[in-house]
């Protein structure tokens, strides 16, 4: 095919479908691709061989890392390869919309020819038509297969077959037979149900389970949520549930759990009080989010004293509260405030003392600015995508206009917020001394105090063992 001494460069994309048992292995696909490329006089270097992990679905392109890496390299100017070889067109995508979109990018914008080794089609309009028909059949096969699998699993569930992943304390034996007990794991299940029945709270149970060396089904330490899931799982009382289909299972259950199961469900309902949950965005204390645990580096969450039985509020490591590590790292809000203000006063008097310093690009609220800039960048990418969709015939003109107007409106809102941050920054505190004055003013809200403190402090590490706080400051502005 090619008469030149220097061969053109090609690439290979390989993906194996777990649903097709007769499909070639990745190595076999790659061998056939290289044979076809050699016959065409095309060289495929190792760095342009893209092989997905086994079992990755072709229904969505954003789930395929190697596919996205291939597209990213191909969009270089100019593209380092001119040909893309596949074993089948279905390896490229089983979603025809995505297939058309990405093939248009490769062919029209990158100048890359795409070839299916096992499904050769002629060049030109008729060849593209045949290729589209093949893609339609591939997508139909994928959708139909999904429906058949779901129907088969539903029928299996209606016949009391076991098919979900076994929960902690059980292991599967295959062929839809009842799960059997794993004695070591089931010890943790008994501990959790009996402890809760005897009055222990979820956090204490998680700590006790971790202390005794137990772990979750995935091998992780227990936390509150893991304990709660085990307490609520009806499988332990004999009920098997799959996709809203329930039946009384034939698997072994034990009285250590079944005798307390219903009582535990009643207690869980009584102690569930969603109305007491605060809004996530609420600023409960002006130091929230800045103080971290000296043991594990996790953030210290703030707890209001009036709601927890304490006389005053306090900070505590969230990993400790969920039972993920043993050492408590708590400090009262009054003591934390005193140490923070004392450090600010010392640094204001002598900047050379009091903490570690790091460079910050500007005095803007750094995190929010970066988030807004990131959101604007994502909007620019979306604008490019909807334009490409229109140019490739995926969207009509009305759909393109509606999408563009929506993105422009959101872009305006984000830019206005970014401008408002810059305006706020003109009056925001620029010195540690002014921040200290704001924190000691009782008439100023927590939100304003929090922004002021974050303008000069990056992080505060609380050393519970020595009762000290280590501060990391931004370089102080003049």
Question: Which residue in 17, 116, 343, 428 is the catalytic one?
Answer: 17
Q: How far are the Cα atoms of 199, 212, 301, 336, 460 from residue 291, in angstroms, in the given order?
A: 32, 30, 8, 9, 5
- In 3D space, the residue among 194, 221, 229, 202 whose CA is nearest the CA of residue 326 turns out to be 221
- The 3 state secondary structure assigned to 48-87 is HEEECCCCCCCCCHHHCHHHHHHHHHHCCCCCCCCEEEEC
Task: Tell me the sheet residues that pair with 316.
Answer: 301
Supply the DSSP string of 279-299, one letter for each residue. Answer: PTT---STTTTTEEETTT-PB
Query: CA 254, CA 416: separation in Å to the nearest integer?
Result: 62
Measured N-to-C along each axis, helices 366-391 and 96-104 cross at an angle, to the nearest 10 degrees, of: 90
Got the DSSP string for 352-390?
TSSSEEE--S-SS-HHHHHHHHHHHHHHHHHHHHHHHHH
- C-alpha–C-alpha distance, residues 34 and 446, integer Å: 65
Does the annotation count 17 as an active-site position?
yes
The answer to whether 94 and 58 have CB atoms below 8 angstroms apart is yes
C-beta separation of 71 from 39 below 8 A = no
- Among candidate residues 165, 474, 463, 154, the one with its CA nearest the CA of residue 329: 463
CB < 8 Å & 24+ apart, contacts of 189-196: 189/230, 189/236, 189/257, 190/254, 190/256, 190/257, 192/227, 192/230, 192/231, 193/230, 193/231, 193/236, 193/256, 193/257, 193/260, 193/261, 193/264, 194/256, 194/260, 196/227, 196/231, 196/260, 196/264, 196/267
| Residue keyed to tokens 């090609």 | 10
Rounded to whole angstroms, what are the CA distances from 115 to 17, 86, 91?
A: 19, 6, 11
Q: Which residues are catalytic?
A: 17
């Amino acid at each position: 095919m090619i008469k030149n001494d220097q061969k053109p460069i090609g690439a290979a994309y390989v993906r194996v479908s777990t649903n097709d048992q007769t499909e070639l292995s990745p190595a076999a696909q790659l061998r056939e691709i290289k044979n076809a490329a050699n016959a065409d006089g095309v060289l495929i270097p190792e760095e342009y061989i893209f092989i997905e992990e086994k079992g990755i679905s072709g229904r969505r392109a954003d789930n395929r890392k190697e596919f996205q890496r291939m597209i990213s390299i191909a969009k270089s100017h100019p593209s380092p390869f001119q040909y893309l070889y596949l074993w089948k067109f279905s390896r490229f995508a089983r979603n025809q919309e995505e297939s058309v979109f990405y093939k248009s990018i490769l062919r029209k914008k990158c100048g890359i020819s795409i070839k299916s080794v096992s499904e050769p089609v002629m060049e030109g309009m008729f060849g593209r038509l045949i290729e589209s028909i093949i893609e339609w059949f591939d997508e139909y096969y994928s959708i139909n297969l999904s429906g058949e699998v779901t129907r088969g699993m539903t029928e299996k569930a209606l016949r009391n077959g076991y098919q979900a992943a076994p929960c902690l304390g059980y292991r599967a034996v295959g062929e839809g037979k009842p799960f059997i007990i794993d004695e070591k794991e089931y010890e943790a299940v008994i501990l959790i149900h009996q402890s809760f029945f005897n009055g222990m709270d979820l956090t204490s149970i998680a700590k006790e389970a971790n202390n005794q060396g137990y772990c979750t089904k995935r091998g992780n330490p227990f936390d509150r949520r893991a304990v709660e899931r085990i307490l609520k799982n009806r499988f332990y009382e004999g009920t098997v549930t799959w996709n809203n289909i329930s039946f009384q299972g034939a698997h072994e259950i034990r009285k250590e759990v079944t005798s307390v199961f219903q009582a535990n469900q009643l207690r869980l309902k009584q102690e569930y009080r969603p109305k007491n949950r605060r809004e996530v965005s609420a600023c409960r204390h002006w130091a929230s989010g800045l103080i971290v645990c000296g043991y594990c580096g996790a953030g210290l969450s703030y707890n209001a004293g009036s709601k927890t039985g304490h006389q005053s509020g306090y900070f505590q490591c969230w990993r400790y509260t969920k039972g993920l590590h043993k050492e408590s790292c708590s400090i009262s809000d009054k003591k934390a405030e005193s140490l923070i203000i004392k450090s600010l006063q010392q640094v204001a008097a002598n900047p050379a003392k009091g903490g570690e310093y790091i460079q910050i690009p500007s005095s803007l609220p750094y995190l929010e600015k970066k988030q807004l800039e990131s959101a604007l960048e994502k909007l620019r990418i979306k604008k490019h995508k909807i334009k490409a969709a229109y140019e490739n015939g995926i969207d009509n003109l009305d759909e393109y206009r509606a999408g563009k107007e929506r993105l422009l409106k959101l872009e305006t809102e984000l830019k206005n917020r970014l401008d408002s941050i810059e305006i706020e920054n003109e009056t925001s505190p620029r010195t540690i001394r002014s921040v200290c004055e704001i924190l000691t003013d009782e008439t100023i809200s927590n939100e304003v105090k929090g922004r002021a403190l974050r303008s000069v402090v990056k992080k505060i590490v609380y050393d519970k063992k020595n009762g000290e706080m280590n501060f990391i400051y931004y370089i102080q502005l003049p």
